[in-house]
Amino acid sequence: MKIALFGPPGAGKGTQARYIVERYGIPQISTGDLLRAQLREGTELGMMARGYMDRGALVPNEVVIGMMRERISEEDCGEGFILDGFPRDISQAEALSNLMDLDAVVNIVVDESALIRRITGRRMCKCGMTYHIEFDPPAKEDTCDRCGGLLYQRGDDREETVRNRLEVYRSQTESLVEYYRKKGILKDIDGNRSIDEISRDVMRALSILEVGK
């Protein structure tokens, strides 16, 4: 099953991907996570991407598309994958469609007023877990439930950068909703609800695909 999770910053793409990974055993491929890993490792690619990410702009396509192409050709993607944060503009969508067809694009629709609160309250762990201080807190403050690591805030989660990221979403990414709707594979999900309610709807949308196979 090849699916993409779509939605603005803070919509809950990473959060919902975790449930799909558990249910279907296919890997989550987050371009944001891949770029942050490059940044942590201090690679040339990471150093180049830093400036763009710090100001909430898109990292240039020649870098991101190459990185994705490499990742989806890896062995663990044989049974499918969940794209999170890719594609993000029409060139990325076209590059992907030259490689393969997606089975579904799950569009998580959230009111803009909720997004900033979700992002500024987010806490991350280096193991990949994500929390929210109010909506999805860890059992012990600042500590990851899964690995015991110290939680931290993402560098681009400051309010000013978040506003930029939202603007970039509106101007460069949002038009892909219609692009995929025209292809007949878009599933809109109301993201203004609890994490569990959204997850139930996402699973329902994906199980219809399973039956169709």
Enzyme catalytic residues: 13, 88, 122, 154, 165
Binds Mg ion (CB under 5 A): choice among 7, 10, 14, 87? 14
- Return the number of the residue (8 or 14) whose C-beta is nearest Mg ion: 14
Which part of the chain contacts ligand AP5 (CB under 6 A), choosing from 40-48, 70-78, 119-127, 182-190? 119-127
Do 105 and 185 contact (CB within 8 A), yes or no? Answer: yes
Structure tokens at 144: 């990851």
Counting residues that bind ligand AP5 (by CB under 6 A) gives: 37
Q: Which of 27, 46, 126, 136 binds ligand AP5 (CB under 6 A)?
A: 136
Nearest to residue 101, comparing CAs of 23, 1, 203, 187? 1
d(CA 193, CA 9): 16
Q: Per rule CB under 6 A, is residue 10 in the interface with ligand AP5?
A: yes
Q: Do 130 and 123 contact (CB within 8 A), yes or no? A: yes
- Least separation in angstroms between residue 213's CB and Mg ion is 28
Do residues 87 and 93 lie in contact, with contact meaning Cβ atoms separated by under 8 Å? yes
Report which DSSP code applies to 135: T
Residues 74 and 158: their CA atoms lie apart, in Å, by 34
- Check residue 6 for interaction with ligand AP5 (CB under 6 A): no
The residues binding ligand AP5 (CB under 6 A) are: 7, 9-15, 30-32, 35, 52-53, 56-59, 64, 85-86, 88, 92, 118-119, 121-122, 130-132, 135-136, 156, 165, 194-195, 198
The residues binding Mg ion (CB under 5 A) are: 14
